[in-house]
A and B are shown apart, each in its own frame.
Chain A
Amino acid sequence: MEGDIANLGQFIGAGLAGMGAGVAALGVGNVAGNYLAGALRNPSAAASQTATLFIGIAFAEALGIFSFLVALLLMFAV
């Protein structure tokens, strides 16, 4: 074992920030699942809502990407 307590905190923090990506996956799955449920109820309206689907996925995913970025900054920049 080598390194100091600051590195330890850095790596633990990066791991904790990585958990955010998993939570964002829940959000993206929620968006896509609800879209599918709606699309199966009314398939004729599904095609017109794909743009909304992708916008929703993009917004949900952005926050997961932020946490990934925090993890990257902790690992390589701080």
Chain B
Amino acid sequence: MATDTGEGSGLVFHPMDQFIVKPLFGDGPVHWYTITNVTLWMAIGVLGIAAMLILGTSRRAIVPSRTQSIGELAYGFVHKMVEDVAGKDALKYFPYIMTLFMFIVFANFLGLIPMAYTTTSQIAVTAILALGVFLGVTILGFVKNGSKFLGLFWVTEAPLAIRPVLAVIELISYFVRPVSHSIRLAGNMTAGHAVLKVFAGFGQVTAIAPLSILAVTAIYGLEVLVAFIQAYVFTILTCVYLKDALHPSH
């Protein structure tokens, strides 16, 4: 992103400019149905996933092509994670978790292309994902366990006197889950990309420009790591919440 030169005299840009939601055609106000740059990059992400998983594996070669082996690796990775963290009976919900993982990982990596839009840096996108997980898991817990699901908040191992206090704490921590779940992803993405732009902005001072380019390269490498780790963390926390819903006893 160091090559992101502005027009006219020098590089004048704001580090948060990259997160502005703009309509793709014309510049009217943004309604819920307006096609914006966020919509465009989400669509590219979904098409990329479809191309990789459907076209890549359609030949079902015994000796897989590169695309097919990446698809198989991703499938096996998420499958093992669900099985290890949430247990064998959670494999029924594997398609949902695989969908979440692929969408987030594609959104994060597409955002790393210079001039691309990082859709997961929008709190609206991650909040919908996290709310879906939260509501789904809560409803699933009540459907599967009935009122026993409330045992999640009533810690029977603790002495009776402090159980009400623990119940309040557990209740608060349960309802903070969707907040931290969504802000973790959006915050990490926003912070990383803003730091990239800040260091790119130092490039306009000739004396420290080489240092700035080195720093941008190093942080970009870190961001590649963060893009994967945040998708992984989002998915593994979904598995942890799913395990709580299926087996609510402590």
Contact = CB atoms under 8 A, between A and B. Distances in A.
Contacts of A51: 81, 84-85, 236
Contact of A55 (B180, B187, B237): B237
Q: Is the interface of B mostly helix, strand, loop or mixed?
A: helix
Contacts of B240: 55
Contacts, number: 36
B80 to A, nearest CB: 10
Given A61-B184, A65-B183, A54 B191 contact: no
Interface in B164-207: 180, 183-184, 187-188, 190-191
A68 B187 contact: yes
A54 B184 CA distance: 13
Q: Is the interface of A mostly helix, strand, loop or mixed?
A: helix
Which range holds the interface residue count of chain B?
10 to 19
A77 B87 CA distance: 43
B41 interface: no
A61 B183 CA distance: 11
Most buried by B among A54, A65, A68: A65
A62 B229 contact: no
A35 interface: no
Interface string B94-129: 000000000000000000000000000000000000
Contact of A54 (B16, B180, B183, B233): B233
A65 B226 CA distance: 13
A65 B237 contact: no
A29 to B, nearest CB: 15
Given A51-B236, A55-B237, A68-B191, A62 B84 contact: no
Interface residues of A, number: 13
B232 interface: yes
Most buried by B among A51, A58, A72, A76: A58
B233 A69 contact: no
Interface in B217-245: 229, 232-233, 236-237, 240
Interface string A6-44: 000000000000000000000000000000000000000
Contacts of A54: 229, 232-233, 236
B232 to A, nearest CB: 6
A65 B84 contact: no
Contacts of B184: 58, 61-62, 65
A74 to B, nearest CB: 13
Interface of A: 51, 54-55, 57-58, 61-62, 65-66, 68-69, 72, 76
Interface of B: 16, 81, 84-85, 180, 183-184, 187-188, 190-191, 229, 232-233, 236-237, 240
29 contacts: A51-B81, A51-B84, A51-B85, A54-B229, A54-B232, A54-B233, A54-B236, A55-B233, A55-B236, A55-B237, A55-B240, A57-B233, A58-B233, A58-B236, A58-B237, A61-B184, A61-B188, A62-B180, A62-B183, A62-B184, A65-B183, A65-B187, A65-B188, A65-B191, A66-B180, A68-B187, A69-B183, A69-B187, A72-B190
